[in-house]
């Protein structure tokens, strides 16, 4: 058992080194790590494959199809022009506007869907202004993970925690939204300072902006109406998925299928970012192998046993450990592992602050690295495809700053809320 755990740990570490240092393409590193994991792991393949979250995979594919077909109508071009007009082309104001829009959408959609919707808007706006898109891409990554923390349906860990702890949508809204708003504002201020050199307005573009009009931006009005109608149904399904008992990925596939009825599927399928899909599959297998060897359970158990039954110490350790582990290990299997361990403490301490610390740590920790959350991977792969690669270490520099700031604010909030 120990040798298997050591082997899977080594594979996990080496795969992340290859991804972080970008020695080979990220998808190649993930698939190589997955194949090596399957070669040497003695667990049955079906157990490892069970860790592949096909709900995420199908959600991604469905939303990529919907967004691509919708974009052909010109509606994202129209949105980009409207943002430029209302912000007068000021990059700082644009960054704030895109950040707010992303965070709000992520609170009511999942953050994966949100970044897929936001990407064409970011590309359109930055292309028109001829400015570096990286600050804006990083902003929508961070804003999506922060905004998704605020509600029950914004991030998968919250859905898992809400189900296990019997917490409602309003419980999350009342308990986490205030602190998330503070974290979001603080993060925006940091981003404005960090990227200040890239956010200088260009006077030569002011005459262009003065004459800018969104008239004619919509190139196919019937397609726009059809696409937006389907998108509205899909989003409504996302929001109501718990009461309807229909998962979000089902709505995404349903919407994509409806729109494909009027398209040539072979052409549309070429636009699905399959490198992103296979990168996710590779990561899921690597993490699944590590989990099957007992790695996640061992780490989680060590975290809880270090506190020796003290509620405050356990709360803050769960928060910071969750933030750390979620930066390098997908937060979904980590949360699944932590939930029963927290439930086992029911007879010894009040679990309420532990649930909120787990939620804040697992969701916010994903901002530290490019592989910390699904939204990060999607934006990273898309930007690579568009010729604007986000370096793993370059993102980590700002990601660690934002994550540390977020966890400090969360610590202060939890202390005031439960221990003052």
Residues 44-68 pLDDT 10s: 777 778 878 787 788 878 888 888 8
Two structure tokens written together for 401: 């700053």
pLDDT at 175: 93
3-state secondary structure 107-155: HHCCHHHHHHHHHHHHHHHHHHHCCCCHHHHHHHHHHHHHHHCCCCCCC
- Mean pLDDT across 303-314: 80
Rounded CA separation 344/334 (Å): 16
Rounded CA separation 150/153 (Å): 9
Residue 2: C-alpha distances to residues 7, 47, 287, 299 (Å): 9, 19, 17, 14
If pLDDT is split at 50, 70 and 90, which confidence band does 365 have?
A: very high
CB 162 within 8 A of CB 389: no
pLDDT digits (tens, 9 = 90+) for 225-249: 999 999 889 888 877 876 788 887 8
Residue 181 backbone dihedrals phi, psi, to 5 degrees:
-60, -45
Rounded CA separation 367/376 (Å): 8
Rounded CA separation 73/221 (Å): 7
pLDDT digits (tens, 9 = 90+) for 131-183: 889 999 999 999 999 999 998 877 878 877 887 888 877 888 889 999 999 99
Q: What is the DSSP letter of 398?
A: H
Phi-psi region of 383 (alpha: psi -120 to 50; beta: other; left: phi over 0): alpha
Q: What is the mean pLDDT of the chain?
A: 85
- Closest of 139, 147, 145, 151 to residue 188, by C-alpha: 139
Give the predicted TM-score (pTM) of the model. Answer: 0.77
Whether the pLDDT of residue 224 is over 70: the answer is: yes
pLDDT at 209: 61
Q: How far is CA 65 from the centre of its chain?
A: 19
Q: Which helix (H) or strand (E) holds 289?
A: helix 274-292
Q: Is 373 helix (H, G, I), strand (E, B) or coil?
A: coil
Rounded CA separation 370/408 (Å): 21
Q: To 10 degrees, the CA torsion angle through 35, 36, 40, 43?
A: -40
pLDDT digits (tens, 9 = 90+) for 171-223: 888 899 999 999 999 999 999 999 999 888 776 665 556 556 666 678 888 99
Share of the chain above pLDDT 90, in %: 30
pLDDT at 8: 87
pLDDT digits (tens, 9 = 90+) for 329-345: 777 767 877 887 788 77
pLDDT at 167: 82
Rounded CA separation 329/287 (Å): 7
């Amino acid at each position: 058992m120990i040798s298997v755990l050591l082997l899977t740990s080594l594979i996990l570490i080496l795969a992340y080194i290859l991804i972080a240092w970008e020695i080979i393409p990220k998808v190649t590193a993930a698939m190589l790590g997955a194949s090596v994991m399957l070669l040497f792991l003695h667990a049955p393949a079906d157990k490892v494959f069970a860790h592949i979250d096909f709900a995420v995979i199908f959600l991604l594919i469905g939303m990529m199809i919907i967004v691509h077909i919708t974009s052909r109508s010109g509606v994202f071009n129209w949105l980009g022009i409207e943002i430029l007009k209302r912000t007068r082309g000021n990059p700082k104001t644009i960054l704030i506007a895109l950040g707010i829009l992303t965070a709000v959408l992520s609170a009511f959609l999942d953050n994966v869907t949100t970044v897929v919707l936001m990407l064409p808007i970011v590309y359109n706006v930055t292309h028109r202004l001829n400015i570096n898109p990286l600050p804006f891409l990083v902003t929508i990554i961070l804003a999506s993970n922060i905004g998704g923390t605020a509600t029950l349906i914004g991030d998968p860990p919250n859905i898992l925690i809400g189900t296990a702890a019997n917490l409602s949508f309003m419980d999350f809204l009342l308990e986490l939204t205030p602190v998330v708003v503070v974290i979001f504002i603080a993060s925006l201020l940091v981003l404005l300072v960090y990227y200040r050199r890239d956010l200088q307005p260009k006077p030569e573009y002011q005459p262009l902006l003065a004459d800018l009009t969104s008239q004619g931006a919509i190139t196919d009005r019937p397609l726009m109406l059809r696409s937006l109608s389907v998108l509205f149904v899909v989003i409504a399904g996302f929001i109501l998925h718990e009461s309807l008992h229909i998962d979000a990925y089902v709505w995404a596939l349903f919407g994509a299928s409806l729109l494909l009825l009027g398209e040539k599927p072979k052409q549309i399928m070429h636009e699905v970012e399959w490198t992103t899909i296979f990168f996710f599959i590779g990561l899921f297998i690597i993490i699944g192998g590590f989990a099957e060897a007992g790695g996640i359970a061992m780490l989680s158990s060590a975290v809880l046993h270090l506190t020796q039954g003290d509620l405050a110490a356990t709360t803050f350790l769960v928060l910071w450990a969750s933030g750390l582990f979620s930066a390098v290990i997908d937060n979904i299997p980590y949360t699944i592992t932590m939930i029963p361990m927290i439930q086992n403490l029911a007879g010894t301490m009040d679990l309420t602050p532990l649930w909120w610390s787990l939620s804040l740590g697992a969701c916010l920790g994903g901002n530290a690295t490019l592989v910390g959350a699904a939204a990060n991977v999607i934006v990273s792969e898309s930007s690579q495809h568009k010729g604007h690669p986000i370096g793993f270490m370059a993102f980590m520099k700002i990601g660690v700053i934002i994550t540390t700031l977020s966890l400090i604010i969360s610590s202060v909030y939890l202390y005031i809320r439960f221990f003052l």
